[in-house]
Amino acid sequence: MGKLDGRVVVISGAARGQGAEEARLFAAEGGKVVLGDVLDDEGEQVAAELGAHRARYVHLDVREEADWQSAADLAEEAFGAVDGLINNAGILRFNALTTTPVAEFREVVDVNQTGCFLGMKTLAPRIEAAGGGTVVNTASYAAMAGMACLTAYAATKAAIVGMTRVASMELASRGIRVNAMCPGAIDTAMTNPAKAVDSGLRLDRDAVLDADADAGAGSGSGSGADRDGSLDAFYAKLIPQGRMGRPEEVARLALFLSCADSSYVTGQPFVVDGGWLAGVSVL
């Protein structure tokens, strides 16, 4: 018996990274998943890996309400109903407050914040019709603590925590639990420029590290992490556990919040960050 036997969950941003690992874990736990993304080739590959009896892929631009309706329709057509949602899709842009173009700010809001809103708006009635279920929204460490050069990103992730709390209050009587995950530095294409050229980071690796160091996040020398190392070497200075997190570690939290293990939990943000939010080491 799996923890998600009989469950059907829509996962946005599921072509790679956290979303793909959530899809794999949910399928392994007996669930059926609809993977949504704009990276069609990669999304189709993950769905094929899991098998048609467990997974389907749909093109999902989370900014578009019609795409959300299509994803919900596919879930019901393929698997009979839908009783879970993981709002995972998001983008990251680094820029200082005073140099952030308005168009860039709105782009991040459209994907991260409006996309999450549309997911809940579209899926909540379907989940209620299925007899209740769960919604898990992906926020961020940056929603709980400030981080230089992330005005747009942090604003949207803080908004997701706020929407999660409101939605949990409105939907509790309908049998729907709503919680948020707040990942710290997770080694995916979005947070590690070495993973993919379309990671959403406008800056190259050295520029990202230097920007963090100049903002006070590094050693203060302005050199950032060791140039011959990975971002893990940089984050090891900030995170008590000494490393970036792995997508599967976030997926396990998503599973907990989507299954009966968390049956009396709703409206809460859960930090998964290796201890980063606990404080800053001076040693």
Place of tokens 């556990």: 241
141 is catalytic: no
Calculate Rg over the CA atoms of the chain.
18
Contact 147, 190 (CB under 8 A): no
Q: How far apart are CA 184 and CA 278, in angstroms?
A: 12
**Tens of pLDDT, residues 242-278:** 889 999 999 999 999 999 999 999 999 999 999 999 9
Dihedral sign computed on CA atoms, order 273, 249, 72, 129: negative
Residue predicted with more confidence, 200 or 24: 24
Give 128-166 pLDDT, tens digit per residue: 999 999 999 999 999 999 889 999 999 999 999 999 999
**pLDDT category, 211, cuts 50, 70, 90?**
very low
**Domains of the chain in sequence order:** 8-191+245-273 (3.40.50.720), 197-243 (no CATH)
Q: What is the C-alpha to C-alpha distance for residues 158 and 165, in angstroms, rounded to an integer?
A: 11
pLDDT tens sequence across 39-93: 999 999 999 999 999 999 999 999 999 999 999 999 999 999 999 999 999 999 9
Which one of 57, 141, 153, 235 is the catalytic residue? 153
Model pTM? Answer: 0.87
* Residue 215 scores a pLDDT above 70: no
